[in-house]
């Protein structure tokens, strides 16, 4: 701990030096205020090192942070998950922490409104800020009759040892793998463009571009994507890829599906010269400020969600066939982790990291394994109650033969992307833990068992997962579920399972072929955390005069720890669902077990 603080202090003084340099550059450029987000240019969930400009200047390693610098002040906003870490890492840097959400703490916009003087200037890198946020800052500057500059990365230019852009090998998915070739996908998108009255369509979201082009790469950890932009016109299409990645094979393939390859770094120049033959369709909410402004300056823009967003969410038959295979094999890894934990706990030292290493190792051996779909979360005891907990070599718990271990994990395979959470008893547990676990299991299975009419969104069905916990006056303060990509991001829209209403929100109807996680949980600070997560497939049920009924099907097949279930907390229907699920787990996965493991599987899948 002592050493760590010394390192922090050293880092902070480096930060102070960097901010000093930034202030000099600001002075030279006439910038009164400089603003830096934590975003890349594509609004990605995970961000490559190259894009961590803010971190270079303030030394804070967490996420969701915003740095605002003037000659007098430097303030960094972040949310409650990171307050402790931020206080430590910012100490000595001269940067003040602004605790987002705390009473009396102004937002960036409120602060700027109150402190920016008439006629002052604000600079930011318009590519690292989304359009909606940028527009709000633009309005503040306008109201102050100030100057806005967004076309230069002033701060990034000062980063002397800046890492290069991430670069990896692009691979091309075959039609056997995707079930739909790019020519067909482009044709479907052009239909949507025509419906919107658009002559061109521009995208920067990497998963959309990968889905359309049937390419994959490894530029961003856990997301098998390449940095790219895509412009589609009525007759042409242009993919902007890094020259290091656009091999002859890739270029030839893209050409064969009607896409010209251009250099990723040439986007600005291309856009300046590009003349659209009519309105350009783009998703303002998903694009960076620079791109949207560029198109708006050039002509009419039609603001629409990328059509590919819904298309890629509705998995086709090929994808579903492969996904089902992937989920069964991936589930087997979780079951094997459970067996390993139960057999070894108390006999050898098992840390949170040992557990995640064990399951990561099992996944790595599966056919078609690419990488993890996100860093495995392994939380023992009270650590599991922290939703963003991450065990590190420096800071992790040793599991005892008591209480519970929560493991949330998933893989990227050539057959799809998985996501699954199980919570295991490692020995004696309290009655309260059994209550919480039983109700979590009841909710997870009740949602998966829902029958509903076509037209329902996640808001209609969320309560089925949550009700058993709400009846205990307990809520998990997050959504119940998210869409999952196909050899793509583990978090994907447009669908989600959530309950909260916000004026003007858009909701996606649950469509045939959508897959979504179903992950209720209980998080008791300082005590324990429980989450059970299956991924479920939405599909058509009966159609009759009352409409098209829809239902879910489990993709995940790994036992729900019976050591944590107590029938006194379960209804008849709950017990029926648990027994039916366990029977299916056994039927679908027993072929992958033998000997003691198989015997054990039989036991843990027996009716309760």
Phi, psi at 335, each rounded to 5°? -60, -45
Whether omega for the bond prior to residue 601 falls within 30 degrees of 0, making it cis, is no
- Return the number of the residue (141 or 510) whose C-beta is nearest a second copy: 510
Q: How far apart are CA 288 and CA 127, in angstroms?
A: 5
- Per-residue x/- mask for a second copy, residues 488 to 527, rule CB under 8 A? -----------xxx-xx-xx-x------------------
Stretch that binds a second copy, among 51-59, 172-180, 394-402, 464-472 (CB under 8 A): 464-472
- Least Cα distance to 491 among 510, 460, 465, 515 occurs for 515
- Specify the residue, 334 or 447, whose C-beta has the smaller distance to a second copy: 447
Residue 392 near residue 356 (C-beta atoms within 8 A)? no
**103 is a site residue for a second copy (CB under 8 A):** no
Among 249, 471, 553, 599, binds a second copy (CB under 8 A): 471
Classify 473 in phi/psi space as left (phi over 0), alpha (psi -120 to 50) or beta: left
Asked whether position 541 contacts a second copy by CB under 8 A, the answer is: yes
User: What is the DSSP secondary-structure string of 27-42?
Assistant: HHHT-SEEEE-S--TT
> Does residue 498 contact residue 475 with C-beta atoms inside 8 Å?
no
Picking from 419, 410, 450, 434, the residue whose alpha carbon sits closest to that of residue 567 is 434
Between 141 and 522, name the residue whose CB sits nearer to a second copy.
Answer: 522
Give the nearest distance from C-beta 69 to a second copy in angstroms: 36
Choose the binding region for a second copy from 84-92, 179-187, 278-286, 468-476 (rule: CB under 8 A): 468-476
Find out whether 479 and 440 touch, Cβ atoms under 8 Å. Answer: no
Burial label, 591 (beta-carbon count in 10 A; 0-12, 13-18, 19+):
exposed
Rounded CA-CA distance 519/379 in Å is 16
Q: How far is the CB of 492 from a second copy (least distance, A)?
A: 20
Sites for a second copy among residues 559-588 (CB under 8 A): 571-573
Q: Is 438 helix (H, G, I), strand (E, B) or coil?
A: helix
Closest approach, Cβ 467 to a second copy, in A, equals 7
Residue closer to a second copy (CB basis): 15 or 550: 550
Among 191, 542, 580, 606, binds a second copy (CB under 8 A): 542
Which of 347/500 has CB closer to a second copy? 500
DSSP 384-428: GGSTT----SSS-PEEPSSSEEEEEE-EEETTEE--EEEEEE-S-
Q: Which stretch binds a second copy (CB under 8 A): 25-33, 68-76, 280-288, 470-478?
A: 470-478
Measured between alpha carbons, how far is 43 from 156 in angstroms, rounded to an integer? Answer: 17
Q: Which CB atom, from 24 or from 195, has the smaller least distance to a second copy?
A: 195
Stretch that binds a second copy, among 122-130, 263-271, 274-282, 456-464 (CB under 8 A): 456-464
CB of 450 to a second copy, least distance (A): 7
176: contact with a second copy by CB under 8 A: no
CA 461, CA 480: separation in Å to the nearest integer?
10
| Residue from 450, 515, 601, 605 binding a second copy (CB under 8 A) | 450
* Dihedral sign of CA atoms 96, 97, 101, 103 in order: negative
The rounded distance, in Å, linking the Cα atoms of 20 and 69 is 10
Nearer Cβ to a second copy (466/582): 466
Shortest distance, position 540 Cβ to a second copy, whole Å: 12
Q: Which is nearer to a second copy, 375 or 541 (CB)?
A: 541
| Helical ranges in 91-230 per DSSP H | 108-115, 131-143, 154-158, 175-178, 182-195, 206-213
In the list 398, 453, 580, 606, the residue contacting a second copy (rule: CB under 8 A) is 453
Least Å distance, CB 279 to a second copy, is: 21
Q: CB of 485: closest distance to a second copy in angstroms?
A: 24
Taking residues 254 to 293 in sequence order and writing x for each that binds a second copy by CB under 8 A, - otherwise, the string is: ----------------------------------------
Residues in binding contact with a second copy, number by CB under 8 A: 37
Residue 355 is encoded by which pair of tokens?
């557990």
Q: Which of 452, 486, 569, 586 binds a second copy (CB under 8 A)?
A: 452
Q: Which of 460, 527, 579, 590 binds a second copy (CB under 8 A)?
A: 460
Rounded Cα gap, residues 58 and 11, in angstroms: 9
User: Which of 193/305 has CB closer to a second copy?
Assistant: 305
Residue 193 CB partners (closer than 8 Å, separation 6+): 199, 200, 201, 232, 234, 281, 307
Indicate the DSSP class of residue 285: G
Residue among 1, 544, 568, 595 that touches a second copy (CB under 8 A): 544
Rounded distance between C-alpha atoms, residue 437 and residue 431, angstroms: 10
Q: Which of 30, 163, 428, 547 binds a second copy (CB under 8 A)?
A: 547
CB 535 to a second copy: min, Å: 21
Q: Are 451 and 541 in contact, with CB atoms under 8 Å apart? A: yes
Return d(Cα 214, Cα 183) in angstroms, integer: 10
Smallest separation, CB 135 to a second copy (Å): 21
Quick one: which H or E segment has residue 11? helix 2-29
Compute the distance between CA of residue 447 and CA of residue 443 in angstroms, rounded to an integer.
Answer: 6
Q: What are the helix (H) ranges across 94-181?
A: 108-115, 131-143, 154-158, 175-178
Stretch near a second copy under the rule CB under 8 A, chosen from 8-16, 135-143, 445-453, 532-540: 445-453
Stretch that binds a second copy, among 232-240, 336-344, 427-435, 473-481 (CB under 8 A): 473-481
Count the alpha carbons within 13 Å of 60 in the hemisphere toward its beta carbon.
32
Which of 467, 478, 598, 608 is close enough to bind a second copy by CB under 8 A?
A: 467
475 binds a second copy (CB under 8 A): yes
Expressed in percent and rounded to 5, the helix, strand and coil fractions of the chain are: 40, 25, 35
- The answer to whether 451 contacts a second copy (rule: CB under 8 A) is yes
The reply on whether position 477 binds a second copy by CB under 8 A is: yes
User: How many residues are recorded in the chain?
Assistant: 608
Q: Which is nearer to a second copy, 69 or 450 (CB)?
A: 450
Q: Are 442 and 570 in contact (CB under 8 A)?
A: yes
Q: How far is the CB of 318 from a second copy (least distance, A)?
A: 29
Residues near a second copy, by CB under 8 A: 450-453, 455-457, 459-464, 467, 470-471, 473-475, 477, 499-501, 503-504, 506-507, 509, 541-542, 544, 546-547, 549, 571-573
């Amino acid at each position: 701990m002592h050493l760590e603080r010394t390192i922090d202090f050293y880092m902070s003084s480096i930060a102070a030096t960097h901010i000093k340099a930034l202030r000099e550059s600001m002075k030279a450029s006439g910038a009164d205020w400089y603003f830096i987000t934590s975003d890349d240019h594509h609004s990605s969930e995970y961000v490559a090192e190259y894009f961590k400009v803010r971190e270079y200047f303030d030394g804070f390693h967490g996420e969701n942070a915003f740095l605002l610098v003037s000659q007098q002040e430097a303030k960094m906003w972040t949310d409650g998950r990171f307050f402790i870490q931020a206080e430590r890492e910012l100490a000595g840097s001269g940067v003040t922490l602004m605790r987002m959400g705390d009473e009396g703490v102004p937002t960036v916009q409120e602060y700027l409104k109150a402190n920016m003087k008439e006629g002052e200037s604000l600079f930011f890198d318009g590519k690292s800020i989304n359009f909606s946020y940028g527009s709000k800052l633009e309005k503040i500057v306008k109201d102050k009759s100030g100057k806005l500059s967004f076309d230069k990365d002033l701060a990034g230019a000062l980063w002397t040892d800046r890492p290069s852009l991430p670069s990896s090998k692009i691979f091309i998915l075959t039609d056997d793998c995707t079930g739909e070739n790019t020519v067909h996908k482009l044709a479907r998108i052009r239909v949507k463009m025509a419906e919107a009255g658009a002559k061109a369509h521009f995208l920067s979201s990497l998963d959309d571009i990968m889905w359309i082009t049937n390419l994959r790469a490894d530029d961003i950890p856990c997301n098998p994507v390449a940095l790219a932009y895509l412009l589609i016109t009525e007759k042409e299409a242009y993919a902007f890829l890094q020259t290091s990645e656009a091999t002859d094979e890739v270029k030839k393939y893209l050409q064969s599906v009607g896409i010209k390859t251009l250099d990723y770094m040439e986007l600005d120049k291309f856009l300046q010269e590009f003349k659209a033959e009519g309105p350009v369709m783009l998703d303002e909410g998903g694009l960076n400020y620079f791109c949207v402004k560029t198109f708006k300056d050039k002509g009419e823009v039609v603001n629409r969600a990328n059509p590919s967003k819904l298309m890629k969410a509705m998995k086709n038959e090929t994808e579903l066939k492969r996904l089902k295979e992937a989920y069964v094999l991936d589930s087997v890894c979780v079951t094997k982790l459970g067996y390993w934990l139960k057999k070894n706990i108390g006999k050898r030292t098992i840390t949170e990291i040992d557990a995640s290493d064990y399951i990561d190792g099992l996944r790595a051996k599966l056919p078609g394994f690419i990488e993890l779909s996100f860093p495995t979360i392994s939380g023992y005891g009270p650590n599991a109650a922290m939703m963003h907990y991450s065990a590190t070599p420096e800071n992790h718990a040793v599991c005892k033969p008591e209480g519970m271990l929560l493991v949330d994990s998933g893989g990227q395979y050539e057959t799809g992307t998985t996501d699954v959470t199980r919570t295991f008893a490692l020995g004696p547990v309290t009655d309260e833990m059994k209550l919480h676990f039983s109700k979590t299991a009841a909710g997870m299975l009740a949602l998966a068992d829902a029958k509903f009419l076509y037209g329902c969104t996640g808001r209609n069905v969320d309560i089925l997962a949550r009700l058993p916990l709400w009846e205990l006056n307990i809520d998990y303060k997050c959504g119940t579920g998210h869409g999952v990509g196909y050899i793509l991001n583990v978090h994907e829209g447009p669908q989600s399972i959530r309950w909260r209403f916000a004026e003007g929100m858009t909701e996606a109807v649950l469509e045939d072929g959508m897959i979504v996680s179903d992950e209720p949980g209980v998080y008791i600070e300082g005590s324990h955390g429980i989450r059970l997560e299956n991924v479920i497939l939405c599909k058509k049920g009966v159609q009759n005069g009352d409409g098209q009924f829809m239902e879910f099907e489990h993709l995940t097949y790994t036992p729900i720890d019976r050591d944590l279930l107590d029938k006194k907390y379960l209804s008849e229907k709950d017990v029926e669902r648990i027994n039916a699920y366990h029977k299916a787990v056994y039927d679908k996965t027993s072929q992958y077990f033998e000997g003691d493991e198989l015997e054990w599987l039989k036991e843990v899948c027996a009716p309760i």
